[in-house]
Structure 1
Amino acid sequence: MTAATDTQPDNSLPDAELVREGPPADLLPADLLPEGLADRLPPQAASAVQITRAITDTMVAHGYAMVQPPLVEFERSLASRMAGTGTRRMVRYTDPVSLRTLALRSDMTVQVGRIASTGLRGAARPLRLCYAGQVLAIRGDGLEPERERLQIGAEIVGTDTVAAACECVSLAIGALRAAGAEDISVDFTLPDLVETLSAGSLPLPPERVAAVRRELDAKDAGGLKTLDAHDYLPLLYATGAFDTAIEKLAAIDAGGALATRIAGLRRIADHVGGRAALTLDPSERHGFEYQSWFGFTIYADGLRGALGRGGTYRIGGEGGHDEAATGFSLYPDPLIQLCARARNADRLFLPEGYDPDIADRLRAIGWQTVAQLSDADDPAALGCTHVLRGREPVRL
């Protein structure tokens, strides 16, 4: 994520977008939750804990140190690291202590960047950090109305090399597989492709770069022709299965400007091997506002939408700090819901007078136990599948 130290917080959001008219507060149920927010009930909450632990344990096992940034920061600090992008999504309010504007985080990656460039500025590089926590947006998207999401991620601070990209893609795949995801696929992209080509072998006037990038995002061949950007048309067709798409990309005459990127993509693909299906869309920009030469989106079979994104970027902020980094963020809520539906843990009812040593032994091998508290306790109603008879569980 490229720093923009002169970026000021975006306070231009119209009041109509900040406050939506609704029924008077005294007519709303007292226990109603705000739109886009929800409780995690059993078994979703248990699945969330289990999946978070599986993913973070995988990251820690690969040498990533856990950090826990605060839920709220000064808006100026967050905005200065977001290049103005996404600031309109942050929930903001005035701090009664400092009288400065605070914001609830909508992205934890920028907080990790702040930690790396301040408290861990003197730590040896490459610096591997990971994190997990909730993020909140002022509103959800059309297809994803949830305003609060779980974000889990890992960052390599101090390098944006092909080797770092290989490690991050492999780690993201491994972490999701450890959490129960199956049939994983990864889509590669080159976020700064248009800027690179327009400054070299396929020149464009500066004022047309954004428009060409927009038409490529929309996959609009007619729009590119209207912009007289015919040289960029082949990029629309260099998409699909990786092995085929990379050959089409290599065939584009770009005066060698794509050679190092193509070589990097091939090396990453070789490193992933057969652990995931690979595709390529070199001009994809959605969700890659911060990334530089490489980006990727990760999916899993049976789950709606992307499970995460990552790539190379630069950490910046106030004070002139600028540093290369590579990382990814996972949003496993769809996986949590899928695992919760499939969750069918055995629960053992412990009647009065049970032997606590036997109960400890059974919990140690994976049983969940529910101890009887009164004669009115009904094992089946309490969700138990077995009852302890003597020393052994017996199915109800």
Structure 2
Amino acid sequence: MTSSASVPNQGILGLLPEGLSDRLPPQAEASAHLARNVLDTVAAHGYARVMPPVAEFEETLTQRLKSARAQDLLRVVDPVSQRTLAMRPDMTAQVGRIAATRLAAAARPLRLSYGGPVLRLRANQLRPERERLQVGAELIGTDSVAAAVEIVNVAIEALQAAGVAGITIDFTLPDLIDTLAAGPMPLKDAEREQVRAELDAKDAGALVALGASAAAYLPLIEAAGPFHAAMEKLEGIDAATGQGAIASRIAALRAIAKPIGWDITLTLDPTERHGFEYQSWFGFSIFADGFVGEIGRGGGYAILRADGSEEPAVGFSLYPDPLIDAGFGAVPVKRLFLPLGHDAALAKVKRAEGWRTVAALSDTDDGAALGCGHWLDGSDIRPY
């Protein structure tokens, strides 16, 4: 008999690192089902799935993670190569690597999808989990308006297929400040970052304090909110400059918004940069009623080719863990208890009909306790 002194502390055995957790039944199955719904919807639009590894050499990963720093990655030393590995904090960069190397010769535009866990070194207050499920799609080879229209609408359709309603798409223009600063509203290089920071904070007083050049950007704070009203304000700002520097961006956003259904709420925050550091001319965040914070984001960006040049792309990523926690992805399950001596052929038929069978291994097994709502009585199915 094992002495109590030799039994490991049960509390320690149950501990997990901060920000990591188990998914138990039925949430684990709901997670798989929701991800499957999203990926099936994306696949119906021609996106082929790829499955990159959970870790890569640090230098390979960091050179493609434009919005992440090496010190933000969870790293380990590979005992085989003795090189530093980094756990992926995002799958988009990995898909870009695949497109630029293994699929460099594939016809463009190249449509790829993916789904799997990502791991971050640190969490935040809104999302304390460090391991998150990421599901998404990338359209590589173009960042045209047509490509943007497709990617935004596929993202919406994928969420609707997962049962999500009350969707809001919040658009942004990540390169807006650079475009204006290089043209009708000039700023010195050092001023640009200051102006970006105060616009992100919506701090009008701080902008004025920075001087006349920065104060010229004040109207952009007001050009945020419900899409159509905000777009009119943005058009007014562009018209006031007399140069039409952002006319093409405005026309592109209107083209992207036009085919989106009336049941989707559209908003605009043209100067939002947080999380869009590597996006190019447009970006978008996805929100849903009843959830704090975004559940997805996307936009245009560039991937690094093997020769050092860049290739345009658009894509989106969904982070559905909050949806799963709220019950999305759950499906009714019919569980049938099979007593000892049951008809195996009949049980096979019942499984084909959609039942999930749980076979007794002893005469003490209790079907109801094992989660079954019915049991097989000869050839009849009876409820508990």
Q: TM-score of the superposition, structure 1-length normalised? A: 0.89
Secondary structure of 2:185's counterpart equals coil
Task: Say whether the 8 Å CA contact 2:165–2:289 is kept in structure 1.
Answer: yes
What amino acid sits opposite 1:379 in the alignment? G
Show the counterpart of 2:219: 234
Q: Which of 16, 29, 40 is the aligned partner of 1:46?
A: 29
Counterpart of 2:257 in structure 1: which amino acid?
A
* 1:350 aligned partner: 338
Please state how far the C-alpha of 1:369 moved relative to its aligned partner. 2.2
Match of 2:216, SS state, is helix
Matched, 1:369 2:374: no
**Deviation of 1:370 (Å):** 1.7
Asked whether the equivalents of residues 33 and 330 of structure 2 are also in contact (C-alpha less than 8 Å), the reply is no
**Equivalent of residue 90 in structure 2, options 91, 107, 110:** 107
Assess, with a 3 A threshold, how the Cα gap between structure 1 residues 77 and 388 changes in structure 2: closer, same or farther: same
Query: Amino acid of the residue matched to residue 182 of structure 1?
Result: A
Does residue 1:244 correspond to 2:232, yes or no?
Answer: no
Is contact 2:26-2:330 (8 Å) kept?
no
Moved more, 365-374 or 201-210: 365-374
**Structure 2 SS opposite 1:121:** coil
> Which position in structure 1 is the counterpart of 2:140?
157
Query: In the alignment, residue 269 of structure 1 is paired with which amino acid?
Result: A
Q: CA deviation at 1:359?
A: 3.1
Partner of 1:321 in structure 2?
A: 309
Cα deviation, 1:104-156, whole Å, max 9, x if unaligned, reads 11111111111111111111100001111111111211221111111111101
Distance between the aligned counterparts of 2:332 and 2:113, measured in 1? 30
User: What is the CA distance between 1:340 and its match in structure 2?
Assistant: 6.2
Over 3 Å counting, the alpha-carbon distance change for 1:79 and 1:317 in structure 2 is farther
Q: Which moved more, 1:225-234 or 1:356-365?
A: 356-365
Alignment of 1:1-396 (within 5 A): 29-83=12-66, 85-228=68-211, 229-252=214-237, 253-254=240-241, 255-316=243-304, 319-339=307-327, 344-396=332-384
Distance in 1 between the 2:26 and 2:20 partners?
18
**Aligned counterparts of 2:10 and 2:367: Cα–Cα separation in 1:** 40
CA distance in 2, matches of 1:306, 1:227: 31
SS at match of 2:259: helix
Query: Would the aligned equivalents of 1:44 and 1:340 in 2 still touch at CA under 8 Å?
Result: no
- In 1, are the aligned partners of 2:47 and 2:113 still within 8 Å (CA)? yes
Letter paired with 2:251? A
Asked whether the equivalents of residues 235 and 282 of structure 1 are also in contact (C-alpha less than 8 Å), the reply is yes
TM-score, normalised with respect to structure 2: 0.91
Q: Which amino acid aligns with 1:186?
A: I
CA gap of 1:293–1:84, structure 2 versus 1, over 3 A, is closer
Query: In the superposition, relative to structure 1, how do residues 41 and 317 fare at CA in structure 2: closer, same or farther (>3 Å)?
Result: same
Q: Which moved more, 1:100-109 or 1:80-89?
A: 80-89
Measure the CA separation in 2 of the matches of 1:167 and 1:393. 48
CA contact (8 A) 2:31 2:329 kept: no
1:11-37 Cα deviation digits (max 9, x unpaired)? xxxxxxxxxxxxxx9997134211111
Superposed CA deviations along residues 175-214 of structure 1, whole A, max 9, x for unmatched, are 1111221221111111111111111111111110000000
Pair 392,339 (structure 1): closer, same or farther in 2 beyond 3 Å: farther
Letter in 2 for 1:107: D
User: Is residue 204–residue 218 contact of structure 2 (8 Å, CA) maintained in 1?
Assistant: yes
Give me the whole-angstrom Cα distance separating, in 1, the residues matched to 2:250 and 2:22. Answer: 45
Distance change in 2, residues 1:166/1:391 (3 Å): farther
Over the residues paired in the alignment, what is the CA RMSD in angstroms? 2.1
Q: Which amino acid aligns with 1:287?
A: G
For 2:245, give the aligned amino acid: A
Q: 1:26 to 1:199 in 2, by over 3 A?
A: farther
Deviates more, 1:272-281 or 1:258-267: 272-281
Larger deviation, residues 342-351 vs 49-58: 342-351
Percent identity between matched residues is 56
- Tell me the alpha carbon deviations over residues 349-386 of structure 1, each in whole angstroms, 9 at most, x when there is no partner: 22334334443343334332222222211122111122
Q: Is the 8 A contact 1:238 1:281 kept in 2?
A: yes
Following the alignment from structure 1 to structure 2, what is the Cα–Cα distance between the partners of residues 300 and 359?
42
Q: Which shifted more, 47-56 or 297-306?
A: 297-306
Q: 2: CA distance between counterparts of 1:26 and 1:214?
A: 49
Deviations along 1:226-258, whole A, 9 cap, x unmatched? 112222111111111112111111111242112
What letter matches 2:190 in structure 1?
E
2:136 is aligned with what amino acid? G
